Amino acid sequence: MPYDVRRRVFHSRTIRCAVILGVALIATSASAVEAQRLEALWYATGSEKSTQSFVEHASQISIVSPQVFAFDRVGRITGHVDPRVVAAAKEHGVKLIPLVMNPGFDQVLMHRVLTNPEARARAIAGVAALCRERRFDGIQFDIENVNVKDRDALTSFMQQSATALHRVGCSCSAAVVPRLSDDPGPTSYHRWMFENWRGVYDYKALADSLDFLSYMTYAQHTGNSTPGPVAGYTWMEQSLQFVLSLGVPAQKISLGIPSYSDWWYPAWDKKAGPRARGGDISYARVTELVDRYHLTPTWDDREKTAYAIWSDAGVNNLMWIEDARAFAAKVQLAKKYRLRGYSVWVLGTEDPAVWLVK
């Protein structure tokens, strides 16, 4: 997804109201940060929950980006946007900028599209035709899991696509995986992440040609990493400082914000045996777990997110929660650096209180 889920959760209605008030204070108390209207991009999927969330909240969204189009191995594009999303976007004046991706973040497929002349030419012509014929406002690439050896090929592919899209009156943007530096890192895990996920993006060259970058500052930790915040504030800020240090204008950066949380729990795998397993969950699922296990999550003021640790039959579970309080802190980060806005993954998993954040 792009780079493939929330406020402290409480039982008491009184305490919940107090926390919502705290969210409002976070959102409005940064007197040192000049008030500004941020461009609010929200991603959507083809799920019913995602579609319904967009229809309900379209008036609060600047751009909707459904993840519904994908390349095949010869560069053709398949997919469609739910007519309800098209209608709601038109009714509320929301820009419709769908994603075009390598399906399942297939590295082999994308390598072929980037390096086979016929597939590449077909893909570039296809994105321009897609935007023109469907009357979209633009196209955003969500191309992930590309080996760093294809860095130049990916950069030139997006640059040529931007030229083709601009010719037909459409914008071109890209969702890009963030990094802290150009150092591959100290461990085999870091190096693998750099070589296959983080290192392929030439942020400055892309920013020079594209209209903006959605900088996906989430999935800091995943189900395949050690447990930790979905998007810790310190990591987000360091990633942001790095891309800005390269000369990418702040007005070309849309800060990635997660609306999903992560839960790690013990599991049994037929091949690997017992292991810890992590996965993305919605805020609705967070509240179910909080209620079931009578949890009172702890707010981490350094990372601007909440977490909960509890025992289930003697074995610990861990949850990092992206709620409205965490969302508000990240919006303030975008304001602090005077970015163009923020890009949220994904509609349908959010804490309902995020819609109160200004």
Q: What is the mean pLDDT of residues 235-242?
A: 98
Residue 53: what pLDDT? 98
User: Pairing between strand 138-142 and 315-321?
Assistant: unpaired
Q: Is the pLDDT of residue 193 over 90?
A: yes
- The hierarchical CATH code for the domain 13-259+324-356 is 3.20.20.80
Q: Is the pLDDT of residue 139 over 80?
A: yes
Q: Which pLDDT tens digit goes with each residue over 62-87?
A: 999 999 999 999 999 999 999 999 99
Residue 15: what pLDDT? 35
Q: Which of 14-23, 236-245, 294-303 has the lowest mean pLDDT?
A: 14-23
Contact by Cβ (8 Å): 356, 20: yes
Residue 19: what pLDDT? 44
Q: Which pLDDT tens digit goes with each residue over 315-340?
A: 999 999 999 999 999 999 999 999 99
Residue 224: what pLDDT? 86
Residue ranges per domain, the chain? 13-259+324-356
- How high is the mean pLDDT of the chain? 92
User: How many Å apart are CA 310 and CA 24, to the nearest integer?
Assistant: 29
Q: Is the pLDDT of residue 146 over 70?
A: yes
* Global pTM exceeds 0.85: yes
Q: Is the pLDDT of residue 17 over 60?
A: no
Task: State both tokens at 209.
Answer: 């040609």
Contact by Cβ (8 Å): 66, 100: no
Q: Which pLDDT tens digit goes with each residue over 104-114?
A: 999 999 999 99
Kindly state the percentage of the chain with pLDDT values over 70: 90
With bands split at pLDDT 50, 70 and 90, how would you rate the model's confidence at 35? low
Q: Is the pLDDT of residue 9 over 70?
A: no
